[in-house]
Amino acid sequence: MWILWSTLAGMFLVPFYISTRKLMWSHNLDYGLFMMNRFLFTLPFAVVFVATYPATGIEWFVVATGCLYGFSGIPFQMSYKYTTEFVAAVASEMIPVFAAIIGWLALNERMTPGEIIAFVTVLTGSAFVVMSTSNGRKNALNGYGLFLLATMMAGAYNAGTKYAKNLADFSGFELLVLHRTGVFISMIALLATPLRKRMLRFFTLPGAEKLKFARNELVFLGFAASFALAMAMQPQARSNGLIGVIYFGVLQIGLFLRAVAISEKHLARKAVGAIIASAGLVYLATH
């Protein structure tokens, strides 16, 4: 069943990546609107968390990883100024790579020379895709840098979730509540910064535009729930990276087909880079 939920997670990500970029460009790249929308959608999970309080130490640890994931949304949203959905999907393959590296550095997990080579392979392939864009080398590097920052934060979230699941037998619903509560806390923190003005502009949007943001966040919630269920159901002996391989594979195929349909530029070079990155990711997940 965890394979099915991993596949569904990728299927949810395809429309999420597409609609996120459309909304970003239709609202002058104002990522604060997304943050407020996410604040509203994570509030119910925080209420459930408070209703079941007090929490254990390991539960607070999972909440902390959710906070980090919430903050990763800022560089993720900003990167759409410089890249396309397909390029973003390939760059996202760095998430399980960083999760493996963080597991090695912080959790004393073993990393072989072959895995280090695989890491370099994924980095090279994703960089090749990013540099195959037609919006200038500087813009491509800016977008890649923002995406690397987002993937490092998301990788820490993945590694932390795996660590917590190995210590406690969380259900998919428990993981979802804890993660979303962490995201909610990160949105509260952002409301205490100058970003608050951008976030509060969400309430001035016409009803039809708010509905578009709501649909976008509901799709992402579908991904988050599918990911949590896959994590909860996957046997402990299996690599956590396999979940990423499956849902990123589905995501790449979906966005590649869309890129073909809209005749995206330099598609052949991007496809080569995506294959290189995917090869490294598959190796990491299966060794």
Sequential DSSP letters for 203-237: GGS-HHHHHHHHHHHHHHHHHHHHHHHHHHHS-TT
Q: Which residue has the higher pLDDT, 145 or 223?
A: 223
Q: Which residue has the higher pLDDT, 146 or 199?
A: 199
Q: What is the pLDDT of residue 267?
A: 72
For residue 174, CA distances in Å to 16, 63, 272 come to: 23, 11, 39
Terminal-to-terminal C-alpha distance of the chain:
22
The span from the CA of 185 to the CA of 221, in Å, is 17
Q: Is 233 exposed, middle or buried (0-12, 13-18, 19+ CB in 10 A)?
A: middle
Q: What is the pLDDT of residue 131?
A: 64
pLDDT by residue (tens digit) across 35-90? 999 999 999 999 999 998 888 899 999 999 999 999 999 998 888 777 777 777 77
Q: What is the pLDDT of residue 223?
A: 93
Tokens read off for 149: 């920052």
Residue that the structure tokens 């990763």 belong to: 72
Query: What does 228-269 look like in DSSP terms, one character per residue?
Result: HHHHHHS-TTS-THHHHHHHHHHHHHHHHHHHHHTT-TTHHH
Count of structural domains within the chain: 1
* Mean pLDDT within 137-154: 78
* Mean pLDDT within 193-212: 95
Reported residue count of the chain is 287
Q: Which of these ranges, 163-172, 182-191, 224-233, 250-259, has the smallest mean pLDDT?
A: 250-259
Q: Which of these ranges, 9-13, 34-38, 118-122, 139-143, has the smallest mean pLDDT?
A: 139-143
Q: Which of these ranges, 2-11, 193-202, 263-272, has the smallest mean pLDDT?
A: 263-272
Q: Is the pLDDT of residue 134 over 60?
A: no
- Contact assessment for residue 17 and residue 77, using Cβ atoms and an 8 Å cutoff: no
Q: What is the pLDDT of residue 239?
A: 57
Of 138, 229, 181, which Cα lies nearest the Cα of 46? 181
The span from the CA of 173 to the CA of 181, in Å, is 12
The span from the CA of 215 to the CA of 275, in Å, is 31
Tokens read off for 1: 């069943």
Q: What is the pLDDT of residue 195?
A: 93
> Which domain range does residue 7 map to?
2-286
Of 12, 9, 84, which Cα lies nearest the Cα of 258? 84
Q: Which residue has the higher pLDDT, 125 or 216?
A: 216
pTM of structure: 0.83
The span from the CA of 183 to the CA of 156, in Å, is 14
pLDDT by residue (tens digit) across 159-175? 888 888 888 888 889 99
- Contact assessment for residue 176 and residue 42, using Cβ atoms and an 8 Å cutoff: no
* Mean pLDDT within 279-283: 74
- Contact assessment for residue 10 and residue 245, using Cβ atoms and an 8 Å cutoff: no
Band (181; pLDDT cuts 50, 70, 90): very high
pLDDT by residue (tens digit) across 93-132? 777 777 777 777 766 667 677 777 877 787 777 776 666 5
